[in-house]
Amino acid sequence: MLLDAFGDAPDLYAWYAAKAVENRWAVRQLRGQIDLKLHLRAGAATANYAATLGEIEGRAALAVTKDPYVLDFIDLAENAKERQLEDALVREIPHFLRELGVGFAYYGRQRPLEIGDREFFLDLLFYHHRLRRFVVIDLKIGEFKAEFAGKMGFYLNAVDTQLRHPDDGESIGLILCTSHNRTVAKFALHRSGAPIAVADWQTDPHVDIADELPRDLATELPGLLEARDRLTSHVAETAERVEAQLLNQGESADQ
């Protein structure tokens, strides 16, 4: 499948091969991720992670995001509310975890936080074992609005105060909207001291994004070039071995 899809694109061949191993995809799941152009969605959220977490940790946090998230495993009515979206995702939490990616652990929904004698509730709370930090997800039906960032910053401060272990990294936020204007999102996050990302979600599996290869793809996967070289070398060696076996079988048949 990888050869058919990326026979003339060794970087993409290596990237998807590594992702298939990392995520333990079945062939059908690999085909789905290729069809949905995961390499263009991965790490594509609009975020201020680098500015708030530092370059290295910020890049690691951004790498676990996507834009858009494809939620084709849920069925929502046209006039669905945000609570119904949340209900649908929780009912299909194994599928949602697969879409979020490796490292995410579901920590709960509507998690109560008591602040100033009042209770506030998080839509969805996850813990990322590789990043060693909580991830707060706020679900929105409709376009991103600048005030969403302030609300998320409030939640992150509360999670860090009440739930974060001393060994954990600073919690990060992910606002999932039906759509967002990147310029508006960047302006909303620019002066925020809280690490927040904004991305779209959609139930239609069609992903309308550019088809070119991102210039910084090689930076997302350490050792990508080495992995590519090993994979292409292995394919070449396997092809030579199979060809030799076929020749031997042909000669035996002639004799």
Pairing assessment for the beta strands 172-177 and 46-47 based on DSSP bridges: unpaired
The 3-state DSSP class for residue 13 equals helix
pLDDT, residue 225, reads 54
Q: What is the pLDDT of residues 133-175, one digit of tens each?
A: 999 999 999 999 999 999 999 999 999 999 999 999 999 999 9
DSSP H or E run through 123: strand 118-128
Query: CB–CB of 197/172 below 8 Å?
Result: yes
Q: What is the pLDDT of residue 245?
A: 60
What is the spatial distance between Cα 241 and Cα 237, in angstroms, rounded to a whole number? Answer: 6
Supply 91's token pair.
């009912």
Type of residue at 254 = D
The pLDDT, as a whole number, for residue 247 is 59
C-alpha torsion 140→60→130→125, nearest 10: -20
Q: Which of 72, 75, 112 is nearest to 95 (CA)?
A: 72
- How far is it between the farthest Cα atoms of the chain? 90
* Type and span of the H or E element at 100: helix 93-100
As separate numbers, helices (DSSP H) first and strands (DSSP E) second, the chain gives 12, 7
How high is the pLDDT of residue 55?
96
Q: Which residues of the chain have pLDDT under 50?
A: 209-215, 218-220, 222
Q: What is the second-level CATH architecture of the domain 44-210? A: 3-Layer(aba) Sandwich (3.40)
Q: What is residue 214's predicted lDDT score, i.e. its pLDDT?
A: 46
pLDDT for the residue numbered 236:
57
- Listed by start position, the domains of the chain span 1-37+223-232, 44-210
Q: Which amino acid is at 53?
A: L
Strand, helix or coil at 210? coil
What Cα–Cα distance (Å) separates residue 177 from each residue in 139, 167, 253?
6, 31, 64
Residues 6+ apart with CB under 8 A from 236: none
Record the pTM: 0.80
CB 216 within 8 A of CB 40: no
How many angstroms separate the CA atoms of 98 and 86, rounded? 16
Q: Following CA atoms 138, 141, 144, 145 in sequence, which dihedral angle do they give, to the nearest 10 degrees?
A: -90
Buried b (16+ CB within 10 A) or exposed e, 33-49: bbebebbbbbbbbbbbb
